Chain A
């Protein structure tokens, strides 16, 4: 039945196919093999909308970081002990106060625009409109992070965070199955895995190439497997929501996987690349452990990121309640993601490297 529906869809969309590249499944040089196509994530950036000078979204200025806050709390006019200064600040990282700290103001973004996905199919007062005019965008990290240098588009750390995606622990592979057409297909399944292979690059290591292979990790990576139902319309895949755990190893061998509740993907697909947004309600404590507490105060200082202040802002702007307890545990967020096509090999397949499609290059640059 499903297959008949797809055939009908194919027929109905034949007109658009005449004016768009046709990526026929299961044939020729298409990377769609056995109605499957895989991609490996090769870039990931926090999706925060900002302006060059920040005046529009951050009229009160950019937030202080650990060094600036330390100077406010511990001026040079007296001798301080490690216990009352450094260790007090480190205590706050791991056991943050949840009440506002008058000496340490923290500014939220007042932007009305942001990137992301409508995660709850509603337009709420706090929602954003994306640059394409889509309303109901759920991304409260725009509010919590938008005036902190660490997450703004000029931050050095955006590149550092993106580099985490290259760690072996963090290789994210998605596989689309039941694919009849990469342009229009009403019923496909996206499955996430952890990959076991470094994404293929050119000889310089600076450019990702499509056509590589990725073995999926069924030994230690089972917790990263999730299925999302989706559809492809005019070359754009959108999925329904599902909970997803993202592998998140960071600096210094830190490992703190992050759960995303009701995560959704929106990806523009080509045979070589997928690009778009991963959105979801991020578990605040998971993320705090992975990328806030999970970064040393030294590294947080690179981006004027004061760990306790950021955590307080995320708790304040939480918009996802635990269905069992009602506690607010998640905050809506979004990532700009880029993926490069790979051939996915499963342990139950004796698949050798696919030779169907020629390699094409994807420049490793910021999306």
Chain B
């Protein structure tokens, strides 16, 4: 049989049909590699600073008490920017914001925030990572004086914080690297999302040709130019069987002849005299020629081929969740096939505090999910009810919610509802999704769901808005 890229595509379509019949294709892939964690570059750290292997965000640095450390790099928004400048003192202090800053066009500055009576200061929400008066800088770690004279740790020039939302060692509830790549500059991703706090960690221990791209599925290995990397079930450990016709569709990722550093989990195989190929965890790596562009992963539709992750985010519990094919890729869905959405929110104050969590103001969410009416909101974007806690894990938990307020229910509250939460935030379905595969609330809300609104929980986002 002729084996060219189009033949591969034909096979891919057939594979897709098979895949569609499998209820948990992507979920299963995630579960298969659930135990593997990303290796990282070891670097000098101050006393007490440790690396915690977070299942949600990869290796992250924690302080002596196990609290994850975050940066808040400045980002420019529509009408100006906020966040910390590199090498500068923190702007996150004891000031309590009472008005918006008007950073998000077209609304003006000076509007009173919804939570002024109870709002806390930036410093109260993001306690600085303080250093002893006699602390010494080491490696990428430096010391920057706060305005009150105290020493604050900085990493790569940006001062560090902890989050009051994190409860357990290594938690990354305060912020995430989802949507970021390991070579992104500070302040990424751009767009109209809030100026976010991001957990910091050591660099992934990958050769320079590769980066790690974090999504809701996990931390994916891709080429530094964004092209997707694959491995093949037809290969043997550290031996490529992709030869002849196979090479018309699959391009081995070649390793340099010299200068290959020894890395855990990485090896170099010799395809032919002088032709070397990278292998990760013993699996030779390839790109798929018909992909054509960065981020495209059509090769997933070819049987036996899979994308490569340094680690997977723990999967949604199989009992209450499924997956669905849509015109934009594969999404997480509830047990009835309704697409799952996550809610994003950051306010427009100078300190850009979060409003996407049950412990934060609900007024923003109610505005876009119910026209200000909590009942209508619950009808339009229902919670995903947890039938039990089976399958709960580091990423997926069951949370008791007060349906009248959207906040956490009080202990023993009679009308509390138990809902599924991802990263400690409830997930939702959308009432107008009238059939499996419908994603009619993708980007619902302010600024395309980035600022105060909803985004689909993609397991395979095929187009990424391109």
Which residues of B, 407-466, contact A by the 8 Å Cβ criterion? 439-440, 442-450, 452, 455, 462-466
- Which of A67, A198, A220, A301 lies in contact with B326, CB distance below 8 A? A220
Confirm or deny: A191 has a beta carbon within 8 angstroms of a beta carbon on chain B: no
Which residues of A are found within 8 Å of B111, using beta-carbon distances?
80-82, 85-86
Q: Is B208 an interface residue (CB 8 A)?
A: no
Instruction: List residues 251-285 of chain A with CB under 8 A from any CB of chain B.
Output: 251-257
Q: Is A87 in contact with chain B by the CB < 8 A criterion?
A: yes
* CB-based nearest A residue for B105: A298
Q: Mark B333-368, 1 if CB is under 8 A from A, else 0.
A: 000000000000000100000000000000110011
Q: Is B327 a contact partner of A220 (Cβ separation < 8 A)?
A: yes
Does B114 lie within 8 Å of A289, measured CB to CB? no
Measured CA separation A349–B363 after assembly (Å)? 55
| Known pairs A87-B364, A91-B372, A249-B328; A297 contacts B106 (CB<8 A) | yes
User: Do the beta carbons of B448 and A347 come within 8 Å of each other?
Assistant: no
Q: Which residue of A has the minimal Cβ distance to B465? A: A253
Of the listed stretches B2-10, B54-62, B220-228, name the one at the interface; the rest are far from the partner chain: B2-10
B167 near A: Cβ within 8 Å?
no
Query: Which among B2, B104, B111, B452 has the highest number of chain A CB atoms within 10 Å?
Result: B111
Q: B229 to nearest A CB, angstroms?
A: 20
Which residue of chain B has its CB nearest to the CB of A295? Answer: B448
A209 to chain B, nearest CB (A): 17
B368 contacts A257, CB within 8 Å? no
**Interface size on B (CB < 8 Å)?**
61
Q: Which residues of B contact A218 (CB under 8 A)?
A: 13
Assuming A169-B466, A296-B192, A296-B448, is B107 touching A70 (CB within 8 A)? yes
Q: Are B9 and A215 in contact (CB under 8 A)?
A: yes
The answer to whether residues A66 and B106 also contact, given A80-B112, A218-B13, A223-B327 and a CB cut-off of 8 A, is yes
**Given the known A-B contacts A87-B363, A350-B4, are A169 and B443 also in contact in the complex, defined by CB atoms under 8 Å?**
no
How distant is the Cα of A87 from the Cα of B111 in the complex, in angstroms?
11
Asked whether any CB of chain A lies closer than 8 Å to the CB of B78, the reply is yes
Produce 1/0 per residue, B84-127, CB < 8 A to A.
00000000000000001000111110111110000000000000
B371 in the interface (beta carbon within 8 A): yes
Asked if A221 is at the interface of the complex by the 8 Å CB criterion, the answer is: yes
Contact present for A83 and B363 (CB under 8 Å): yes
Whether A219 contacts B16 in the complex (CB less than 8 A), given A297-B106, A297-B446, A347-B6, comes out as yes
A93 to B453, CA, bound (A): 12
Q: B187 in the interface, Cβ–Cβ < 8 Å? A: no
Whether A220 pairs with B455 at a CB distance below 8 angstroms is no
Most buried by A among B10, B16, B110: B10
A81 to chain B, nearest CB (A): 4
A279 to B86, CA, bound (A): 54
Q: Does B25 contact A (CB under 8 A)?
A: no
Q: Which residue of A lies closest to B114 (CB)?
A: A83
Residues of chain B from 313 to 330 with CB closer than 8 A to chain A in the complex: 325-329
**A224 within 8 Å of B by Cβ?**
yes
Q: Mark B147-185, 1 if CB is under 8 A from A, else 0.
A: 000000000000000000000000000000000000000
Tell me the nearest residue of chain B to A349, going by C-beta. Answer: B6
Q: Which residues of A contact B113 (CB under 8 A)?
A: 81-82
B13 and A94 within 8 A (CB) = no
Contact count A vs B, C-beta below 8 Å: 155
Nearest residue, chain B, Cβ from A285: B432
Q: What 1/0 flags go to A55-93 for Cβ under 8 Å of B?
A: 000000000001100100000000111110111111111
B282 within 8 A of A: no
Query: What separation, in Å, do the CA atoms of A169 and B372 have in the docked complex?
Result: 33
Q: How far is the CB of A132 from chain B (nearest CB, A)?
A: 36
In the complex, the answer to whether A87 meets B439 with C-beta atoms within 8 Å is no
Please measure, in the bound complex, the distance between the C-alpha atom of A256 and the C-alpha atom of B348, giving whole angstroms: 27
Task: Please pick, from B4, B105, B108, B325, the residue contacting A220 in the complex, using a CB distance under 8 A.
Answer: B325
Chain B neighbourhood of A347, CB < 8 A: 6, 9-10, 13
Taken together as a complex, chains A and B put the C-alpha atoms of A80 and B109 apart, in Å, by 10
Cβ–Cβ < 8 Å partners of B192 in chain A: 252, 296, 298
Contact mask for chain A residues 281-313; partner B; CB cutoff 8 A; 1 contact, 0 none = 000000001000110111001000000000000
Given contacts A251-B448, A253-B464, A296-B448, A82 and B100 within 8 Å (CB-CB):
yes
In the complex, the answer to whether B191 meets A70 with C-beta atoms within 8 Å is no
Minimum CB–CB distance from A233 to chain B (whole Å) comes to 34
On chain A, the residues within 8 Å of B105 by CB distance are 298, 301
Nearest residue in B to A223 (C-beta to C-beta)? Answer: B327
- Contact A67 to B106, CB < 8 A, known contacts A79-B112, A253-B465, A296-B446: yes
Distance in angstroms between the alpha carbons of A81 and B191 in the assembled complex: 26
Query: Which residue of chain A lies nearest to B14 when distances are taken between CB atoms in the complex?
Result: A347
- B301 on interface, CB distance cutoff 8 Å: yes
Please determine whether A90 and B452 come into contact, CB atoms closer than 8 angstroms: yes
Q: Is B53 among interface residues, defined by CB-CB distance under 8 A? A: no
Give Cα A250 to B328, complex, Å: 12
CA gap between A90 and B371 in the complex, in Å: 8
- Answer whether residue B33 sits at the interface, using C-beta atoms and an 8 A cutoff: no
Question: Are A351 and B6 also in contact (CB < 8 A) when A82-B111, A86-B107, A219-B301 are?
Answer: yes
B368 touches A94 (CB 8 A): yes
Q: Is A348 an interface residue (CB 8 A)?
A: yes
State the Cβ distance, B66 to closest chain A Cβ, in Å: 35
In contact, A220 and B328 (Cβ under 8 angstroms): yes
With A83-B114, A87-B114 already in contact, 4 other A-B pairs whose C-beta atoms are closer than 8 Å: A70-B107, A168-B293, A220-B329, A347-B10
- What are 18 residue pairs bridging A and B, where the CB atoms are less than 8 Å apart in the complex? A82-B113, A82-B114, A83-B114, A83-B372, A94-B368, A94-B444, A94-B445, A168-B466, A169-B466, A220-B325, A220-B327, A252-B448, A253-B464, A253-B465, A255-B443, A296-B447, A298-B105, A347-B9
